[in-house]
Amino acid sequence: MNAPLPAPALRRQRPNIAIIGAGPGGLAAAMLLAASGARVTVFEKDDVVGGRTRTLTSPEGYRFDLGPTFFLYPRIIREVFASCGADLDEEVELVQLDPQYRLIFEGSPSITLDATGDLDRMEAAIAAFAPQDAAGVRRFMADNRWKLDAFRPVLEKPFSTTARMLGKDVLFSLPQLRPHLQVDEDLRRYFSDPRVRLAFSFQTKYLGMSPFKCPSMFTILSFLEYEYGVYHPIGGCGAVSEAMRRVAERLGVEFRLGTPVERIAFAGRRAVGVEAGGRHHAADAVVLNGDFAHAVPRLVPDSIRKAWSDRKIAKARYSCSTFMLYLGVEGTLPQLAHHNVLLSESYQENIRQIETGVIPEAPSLYVQNPTVTDPGMAPPGHSALYMLVPVPNLRHGADWAAEQRRFRDIAIGRLKVLGVEDIESRIRYERIVSPQGWQDEFAVGFGATFNLSHDLLQMLSFRPRNRFNDTEGLYLVGGGTHPGSGLPVIYEGARITTRLIQEDLAMEPAVAPALAR
């Protein structure tokens, strides 16, 4: 049994910090703040930690990631653990995947590409169907290695004022980031075949955006995969969330699960605590980790939010949503890799449909078949299949109560393109989360599963700030604040927010205490 350790002593009385939400950003902030000596209490409305980075378990023994299904660029989360005196690789077993994923380009004929970080093999695989583009792989990697070096200082700093965006680090990075281009345009400098460009650009869907509109700086997403690998945590991504909770508890963090926060208490513009369970809990700082569009209008009075009023939140631009199927299947599925991405023959038309509120009839989709790597995700001889289909968010007004069954059949029918013909008779467990389910069950504003869009006018200082605009003592973590969505970026955002709190409360930084295990 791991006993809590006393947090490091501070020069002054230890501050009390309330964190609303135990998603990945809230967990990282809790760890770092506790390691720097704060008394931290995490209030979570659900009975489990992790937010969307949790594991769903069925009565039959199938296990599914709810949202994120892999870890990319684990450097940041390793550093978070190390700052807290822990070792991520001792807490969680991470398996690097090769191939990273299988891409299926629908067409006549269809083409399959097993994407790998082994650049010799990747060049050979591309040369098999687009020989003119194979030479572009290493040029892409070299240029994006430079781009990441230029972009990293931007990702690691807060943007507390608009003037901060005119700093030397931002201005220096602009030539490398090419913000005037979109991802697909930028990739044309390396690849002429649209299928190869999709292999290096579909990752913009991690942000819920189109490669034909997403700023070109986000070519670093695919670069990170090929440079640093794609990892599966044994037990699912929820295993990392649980490890973060264990470390936080060893540092003295108190978790109050099943405890929704009714509102944040303010004295003027200063957050002074939270109201939860009919009680006031005083705090020197409050960290909000709820979904931005859902939580802020409910918890922060509109009267003190000039920069992000209810009206502005309603008019902001949001990502697409996703239609989710979690299937427990009898038997194995050798046709599938661990990660599989079906890129529709009508990929661009799919995107236009989603952007205009039309539900696609022949959608692209992502399928995870984790039992090929992690058999414990299902009972022996069974598979736990995760299916994600990009669809419009709820601002377009689709009636998912009426559409759900029909679209479920469309999604399962698309598995035939992946060589899975006979799945209906083998399904032993099924759960659906539609955009309406994301909003109603998981508190995701507008069902927009990837949060605010990452266009140029909703990034850096234009995004809700880590030290939340127009308030004092209230801070944000999660995909709705700078630097943005995606697990590595959310963890980096938690480090930014933590440093701001330490500065504002005159706290010492984390001192990496040794933890008993």
Q: How far apart are CA 343 and CA 173, in angstroms?
A: 32
CA dihedral 453, 459, 464, 468 (to 10 degrees): 160
Alpha helical stretches, state H, 92-167: 119-127, 136-155
In the chain, the amino acid numbered 88 is L
Mean pLDDT, residues 197-217: 91
Q: How far apart are CA 68 and CA 88, in angstroms?
A: 18
Q: What angle do CA 388, 391, 395 make, to 5 degrees?
A: 135
Which of 19, 487, 432, 439 has the alpha carbon at shortest distance from 241? 487
Q: How far apart are CA 268 and CA 270, in angstroms?
A: 6
Asked if 181 and 218 touch (Cβ cutoff 8 Å), the reply is: no
Mean pLDDT, residues 97-122: 96
The model's pLDDT over 49-76, given as tens digits with 9 standing for 90+, comes to: 999 999 999 999 999 999 999 999 999 9
CA dihedral 68, 71, 73, 78 (to 10 degrees): 110
Q: For the chain, what percent of residues have pLDDT higher than 90?
A: 82
pLDDT score recorded for residue 150: 80
Q: Higher model confidence: residue 181 or residue 512?
A: 181
Distances from the Cα of 487 to the Cαs of 52, 320, 384, in angstroms? 11, 18, 23
pLDDT score recorded for residue 155: 73
Asked if 484 and 492 touch (Cβ cutoff 8 Å), the reply is: no
Q: Look at the domain 320-447 and name its fold.
A: Guanine Nucleotide Dissociation Inhibitor; domain 2 (3.30.519)
Would the pLDDT of 154 be above 80? no
pLDDT score recorded for residue 2: 43
Q: How far apart are CA 244 and CA 242, in angstroms?
A: 5
Q: Per-domain residue ranges for the chain?
A: 16-93+235-316+454-504, 123-228, 320-447
Mean pLDDT across the chain: 92
Q: Using pLDDT thresholds of 50, 70 and 90, give the confidence band for residue 344.
A: very high
pLDDT score recorded for residue 149: 86
Would the pLDDT of 354 be above 80? yes
Q: Using pLDDT thresholds of 50, 70 and 90, give the confidence band for residue 508.
A: confident
Assess if CATH 2.60.40.10 describes domain 16-93+235-316+454-504: no
pLDDT score recorded for residue 509: 74
Alpha helical stretches, state H, 203-335: 220-228, 238-250, 292-299, 310-315
pLDDT score recorded for residue 194: 96
Query: What's the gap between Cα 268 and its chain centre?
Result: 33
Strand partners, 366: 341, 388
Would the pLDDT of 517 be above 80? no
pLDDT score recorded for residue 169: 61
For residue 67, give every residue at least 6 positions away whose Cβ sits within 8 Å of its Cβ, in sequence order, or none. 51, 52, 53, 54, 237, 449
Residue 315's Cβ-count burial label (10 Å; 0-12, 13-18, 19+) is exposed
Would the pLDDT of 47 be above 90? yes
Q: Higher model confidence: residue 459 or residue 407?
A: 407
Asked if 14 and 37 touch (Cβ cutoff 8 Å), the reply is: yes
For residue 473, give every residue at least 6 positions away whose Cβ sits within 8 Å of its Cβ, in sequence order, or none. 270, 271, 272, 283, 284, 285, 286, 504
Distances from the Cα of 32 to the Cαs of 77, 93, 282, 494, in angstroms? 11, 22, 20, 9
The model's pLDDT over 262-292, given as tens digits with 9 standing for 90+, comes to: 999 999 999 999 999 899 999 999 999 999 9
- Tokens encoding 426: 């083998």
The model's pLDDT over 183-192, given as tens digits with 9 standing for 90+, comes to: 999 999 999 9
Q: What does the radius of gyration of the chain's CA atoms come to, in whole angstroms? A: 22
pLDDT score recorded for residue 176: 60
Q: Higher model confidence: residue 94 or residue 462?
A: 94
The model's pLDDT over 5-28, given as tens digits with 9 standing for 90+, comes to: 444 443 458 999 999 999 999 999
The model's pLDDT over 222-261, given as tens digits with 9 standing for 90+, comes to: 999 999 999 999 999 999 999 999 999 999 999 999 999 9
pLDDT score recorded for residue 27: 98
Mean pLDDT, residues 100-114: 95
pLDDT score recorded for residue 121: 98
Question: Which of 152-166, 377-391, 466-480 comes out lowest in average pLDDT?
Answer: 152-166
Mean pLDDT, residues 199-216: 90
Q: What is the DSSP letter of 332?
A: -
The model's pLDDT over 418-444, given as tens digits with 9 standing for 90+, comes to: 999 989 999 999 999 999 999 999 999
pLDDT score recorded for residue 6: 41
Question: Which of 29-33, 85-89, 177-181, 353-357 comes out lowest in average pLDDT?
Answer: 177-181
Would the pLDDT of 402 be above 80? yes
Q: How far apart are CA 98 and CA 114, in angstroms?
A: 9
For residue 248, give every residue at least 6 positions away whose Cβ sits within 8 Å of its Cβ, in sequence order, or none. 27, 30, 31, 34, 40, 42, 255
Q: How far apart are CA 326 and CA 385, in angstroms?
A: 6
Q: How far apart are CA 329 and CA 426, in angstroms?
A: 5
Would the pLDDT of 172 be above 60? no
Residue 5: its H or E element: none
Rounded to 5 degrees, what are φ and ψ at 410? Answer: -60, -45
pLDDT score recorded for residue 9: 41
> Can you give the pTM of this predicted structure?
0.93
